[in-house]
Amino acid sequence: MTYKILEKRELGESGIVFEIVLETPLIAKKAYAGNFVLIRINETGERIPLTIADYDREKGTLTIVFQVVGKSTKLLSHQNVGDEILDVVGPLGNKIHIKKYEYPVVFVGGGVGIAPCYPQAKELKEAGNTIISILGARNKGLLFWKDKMGAVSDEIIICTDDGSEGKKGVVTEPLKDLLKRGKLSLVIAIGPLIMMKFVTLTTNGSNGLPKVKTFVSLNTIMIDGTGMCGGCRFPTIDGKIGFACVDGPDVDGHIVDFNNLLKRANRFEKQEKKSLELYDQECKALKKFDEGSS
């Protein structure tokens, strides 16, 4: 069974962030906010985990959002409407616990992490919660889904590192303001590891600000997605080991050893760079061949 691409669009103005809608009736039927899928584009491709960005049970569709960072995501960006993905496995991981909280729930979405914030914010909003969303990116071109997040948020704050849109600065600054302003029930942060690390440092109660329960989404190296291979293991500050695929991907951010995890995240940086270089060379060679044949 293969999975057809029904829609594809570029998000933002960077040229490296894409949204794809897949025809996946069985997966869409079981999907919830917080789940992820494993995708393999073709028989020689690697399995890459992507958190579900949206789903439609009636239409039988699943939406994924990704940023081009290596060979597999670049190859995925070259797929078009009508093309088929070989494998889509899921939904995997744990859905988030939906309930009515007493105080506001804050979402902190960084870059492509904005996408998986959406279904969580949507489901929590439908449960009657007050939602405050902080969306951050390096620049205006990497921002997207502001309208979608705005539709499920009671308040939305935009931040960019260079000040090209919204407030200039990092997402932890408005988060500090919210912690000073009033009580919060929950903070959910999804984005780069370094961003999630500093969000948890902001909410752990060690800086004179109130401590607030904080969840982060760990999209680490995954192969089987069921806890068997151990590739997605992450260390905790008390010396234990968790597995993002079965314990997460959303986990208590205050127990994650981010320093260790940041080192592991760069473990295959050289190999990934070489793989991308070889893929680019192959694409250039094929383009020259096509031009020569025409």
Question: What percentage of the chain carries pLDDT values higher than 70?
Answer: 89
Q: Tell me the H-state helices in 205-268.
A: 244-247, 258-265
Q: Do 81 and 118 belong together in one domain? A: no
Q: Do 63 and 23 belong together in one domain? A: yes
Q: Is residue 21 part of a domain?
A: yes
Cβ atoms 154, 181 nearer than 8 A:
no
Q: Distance between CA atoms of 106 and 261, rounded to whole angstroms?
A: 24
Q: Do 117 and 213 belong together in one domain? A: yes
> What does the pLDDT read at residue 291?
57
Q: Do 85 and 20 belong together in one domain? A: yes
Whether residue 222 is predicted with pLDDT greater than 80 in this model: the reply is no
Fill in the DSSP letter of residue 229: S
Cβ atoms 260, 252 nearer than 8 A:
no
Q: Is residue 263 part of a domain?
A: no
> What does the pLDDT read at residue 287?
57
Q: Do 112 and 81 belong together in one domain? A: no
Q: Is residue 100 part of a domain?
A: no
Give this prediction's pTM.
Answer: 0.89
Whether residue 50 is predicted with pLDDT greater than 70 in this model: the reply is yes
Q: What is the CATH number of the domain that holds 113?
A: 3.40.50.80
Q: Distance between CA atoms of 218 and 232, rounded to whole angstroms?
A: 9
Q: Do 87 and 120 belong together in one domain? A: no
Cβ atoms 209, 180 nearer than 8 A:
yes
Q: Which residues of 223-239 are buried (b: 16+ CB within 10 A; e: fewer)?
A: eebeeeeebbbbbbeee
Structural domain total, the chain: 2
Whether residue 255 is predicted with pLDDT greater than 90 in this model: the reply is yes
The encoded tokens of residue 141 equal 């071109």
Q: Is residue 233 part of a domain?
A: no
Cβ atoms 153, 122 nearer than 8 A:
no
**Residue 81: strand pairing partners:** none
Q: Which residues contact 246 (CB under 8 A, 6 or more apart)?
A: 93, 94, 226, 227
Whether residue 223 is predicted with pLDDT greater than 90 in this model: the reply is no
Q: What is the CATH number of the domain that holds 14?
A: 2.40.30.10
User: Look-up: residue for tokens 């809608």?
Assistant: 21
Q: Do 80 and 56 belong together in one domain? A: yes
Last residue of a domain, one of 199, 217, 235: 217
Q: Do 78 and 168 belong together in one domain? A: no
Q: Distance between CA atoms of 188 and 209, rounded to whole angstroms?
A: 17
Q: Do 113 and 205 belong together in one domain? A: yes
Cβ atoms 220, 234 nearer than 8 A:
yes
Q: Is residue 60 part of a domain?
A: yes
> What does the pLDDT read at residue 289?
45
In the chain the first and final C-alpha atoms are separated, in Å, by: 34
- Give the structural domain span for 27: 3-92
Q: Distance between CA atoms of 52 and 49, rounded to whole angstroms?
A: 10
Q: Distance between CA atoms of 12 and 15, rounded to whole angstroms?
A: 7
Q: Is residue 189 part of a domain?
A: yes
| Extended strands (E) in 138-182 | 155-160, 167-168
Whether residue 273 is predicted with pLDDT greater than 90 in this model: the reply is no
* CA separation, residue 143 to residues 136, 138, 173, 233 (Å): 7, 9, 18, 30
Give the tens place of pLDDT for each residue, 152-208: 999 999 999 999 999 999 999 999 999 999 999 999 999 999 999 999 999 999 889
Mean pLDDT of the chain: 90
Cβ atoms 90, 34 nearer than 8 A:
no
User: Look-up: residue for tokens 């499920």?
Assistant: 152
Q: Do 118 and 175 belong together in one domain? A: yes
Give the tens place of pLDDT for each residue, 64-86: 999 998 888 999 999 999 999 99
Last residue of a domain, one of 217, 242, 258: 217
> What does the pLDDT read at residue 224?
81
Quick one: which of 249, 240, 215, 244 has its CA closest to 227? 244
Q: Is residue 163 part of a domain?
A: yes
Q: Do 123 and 59 belong together in one domain? A: no
Quick one: which of 168, 107, 106, 110 has its CA closest to 136? 110
Q: Do 113 and 182 belong together in one domain? A: yes
Q: Is residue 84 part of a domain?
A: yes
Fill in the DSSP letter of residue 219: -
Q: Distance between CA atoms of 150 and 291, rounded to whole angstroms?
A: 46
Cβ atoms 131, 154 nearer than 8 A:
yes
Neighbours of 245 (CB within 10 A): 28
Last residue of a domain, one of 60, 92, 124: 92
